[in-house]
């Protein structure tokens, strides 16, 4: 699909179906099935999947545009979609064997099977190379034991990318990635976590106890799991930046509706700052996605976009909340401002917290320029 048609499709879904119920999704902690059906019908779940497996192999720019528009409607809806796209279907498409792709991708492209990504553990978040979920191998396959936490789509996903180590002493070199199907004995969804925001997106804790998978479950070469995780998260950062942009735009809209020409000078100045934050975040997202599409190293641009856009979303949403709660806005506008404020906080945490983006950027910027 050419031009901005993916963006237009996503915007139509957001405007018609998501925006009207976004506060209800937040209140009731669930996404109406007709939204998921419409997104599936329009091909959104197949954006990161090659055409031969039923997807549309969309560009990074188009995927970012879709994630931004859906996030404008509801960050909860966008998060479930973005995880499925960036860190579940994209790594299977990139690292899977022809058999793995044939097995998983067509149903994932149709939106019938959701994907999840299970890296984080109770004792290993930012420091993912020190994860402790263990695996051992035998001629029949692998046995996985351990626990994962904060897993988006964990309860609904048909396939979960599970990262485990054969020996924690090996750090990154010991980690492999497994495609674990929902219902595999020994794999349980232990609980759904309570959160401050993102109420419509289910976040779960997963347990693996004597969980046996066959040899075809290994994604990529053994010992390359950390590389798969890091490269997936790099792509995922463009998704989180795009989500941040969508949330920031939604908060800017709330601000615009509460600041008028006769508002006080300081309120109009706040609106001006929010406008510039959204414009700057948009430029950074565009730059990162364009670099990914050009096939050049986009890591620096993705981290810069994630660092700035996630904080911009929080700042704009904070200001929108302050102004709306102080004014005469109706109940729906107040609920929207509260939701955007609570939702925006998570953007600076997921797929590499702010401090981690600073470490990545600092390390890269401080290293000598490459000769090429």
| Catalytic machinery residues | 351
Cβ 152 to ligand FAD shortest distance, Å: 3
Which backbone phi and psi does 178 adopt, to 5 degrees? -125, 145
Among all residues, whose Cβ is closest to ligand FAD?
A: 125
How remote is the C-alpha of 51 from its chain's centroid? 22
Of all helices (H) and strands (E), which one includes residue 344? helix 331-344
Nearer to ligand FAD, 78 or 255 (CB): 78
Judged by beta carbon, residue 114 or residue 278, the one nearer ligand FAD is 114
* Tally of CB atoms within 10 A around 62: 23
User: How far apart are alpha carbons 325 and 354 in whole angstroms?
Assistant: 28
188 sits in which H/E element:
strand 187-192
Report, in Å, the least distance between residue 356 CB and ligand FAD: 5
> Which residues face 148 on adjacent strands?
206
Residues 6+ apart with CB under 8 A from 168: 130, 131, 132, 134, 174
Name which of 6 and 163 has its Cβ closer to ligand FAD.
Answer: 163
Closer residue to ligand FAD, CB minimum distance, 32 or 125: 125
73 vs 282 by CB, closer to ligand FAD: 73
From CA 26, how far away is CA 69, in angstroms rounded? 18
| φ, ψ for residue 356, nearest 5 deg | -75, -40
Judge whether 316 and 278 are in contact, CB under 8 Å.
yes
**Bridging pattern class, strands 159-165 and 187-192:** unpaired
Q: Which residues bind ligand FAD (CB under 6 A)?
A: 83, 117-120, 125-126, 150-152, 195, 198, 203, 346, 349-351, 353, 355-356
Residue 343's SS3 state is: helix
Minimum CB separation from ligand FAD for residue 51, in Å? 27
Of the two residues 97 and 126, which places its CB atom closer to ligand FAD in the complex? 126
Q: State how far Cα 87 lies from the chain centre.
A: 8
CB of 346 to ligand FAD, least distance (A): 5
Q: Are strands 134-138 and 187-192 parallel, antiparallel or unpaired?
A: unpaired
- CB 52, min distance to ligand FAD, A: 27
Q: Are 239 and 85 in contact (CB under 8 A)?
A: yes
If the CB atoms of residues 5 and 364 are measured against ligand FAD, the closer one turns out to be: 364
Distance from C-alpha of 318 to C-alpha of 252, rounded to nearest angstrom: 10
- Min. distance of Cβ 84 from ligand FAD in angstroms? 10
* End-to-end CA, the chain: 34
Give least dist CB 178 to ligand FAD, A.
14
């Amino acid at each position: 699909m050419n031009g901005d048609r993916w963006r237009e499709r996503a915007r139509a879904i957001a405007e018609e179906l998501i925006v009207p119920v976004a506060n209800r999704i937040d209140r009731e902690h669930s996404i109406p099935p007709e939204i998921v059906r419409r997104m599936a019908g329009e091909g959104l779940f197949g954006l990161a999947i090659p055409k031969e497996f039923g997807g549309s192999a969309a560009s990074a720019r188009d995927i970012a545009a879709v994630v931004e528009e859906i996030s404008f409607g509801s960050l909860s809806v966008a998060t479930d979609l973005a995880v499925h796209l960036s860190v579940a279907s994209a790594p299977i498409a990139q690292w899977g064997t022809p058999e793995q792709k044939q097995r998983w991708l067509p149903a994932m492209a149709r939106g019938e099977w959701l994907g999840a990504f299970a890296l984080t553990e109770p004792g290993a978040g930012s420091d993912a190379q020190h994860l402790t979920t263990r695996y051992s191998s035998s001629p029949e396959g692998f046995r996985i034991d351990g626990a994962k936490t904060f897993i988006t789509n964990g309860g609904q996903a048909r396939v979960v990318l599970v990262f485990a180590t054969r020996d924690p002493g090996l750090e990154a070199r010991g980690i492999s990635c497994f495609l674990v199907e929902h219902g595999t004995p020994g794999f349980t969804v232990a609980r759904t976590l309570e959160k401050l925001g993102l109420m419509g997106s289910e976040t779960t804790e997963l347990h693996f106890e004597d969980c046996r998978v066959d040899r075809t479950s290994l994604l990529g070469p053994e010992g390359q799991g950390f590389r798969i995780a890091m490269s997936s998260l790099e792509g995922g950062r463009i998704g989180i930046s795009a989500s941040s942009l969508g949330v920031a735009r939604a908060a800017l809209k709330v601000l615009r509706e509460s600041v008028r020409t006769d508002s006080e000078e300081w309120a109009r100045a706040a609106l001006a700052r929010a406008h510039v934050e959204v414009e700057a975040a948009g430029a950074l997202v565009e730059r990162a996605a364009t670099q990914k599409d050009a096939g050049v190293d986009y890591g620096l641009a993705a981290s810069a976009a994630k660092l700035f856009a996630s904080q911009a979303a929080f700042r704009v949403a904070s200001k929108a909340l302050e102004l709306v709660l102080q004014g005469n806005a109706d109940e729906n506008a107040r609920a929207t401002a509260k939701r955007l404020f609570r939702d925006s906080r998570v953007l600076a945490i997921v797929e590499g917290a702010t401090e981690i983006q600073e470490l990545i950027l600092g390390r890269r910027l401080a290293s000598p320029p490459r000769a090429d």
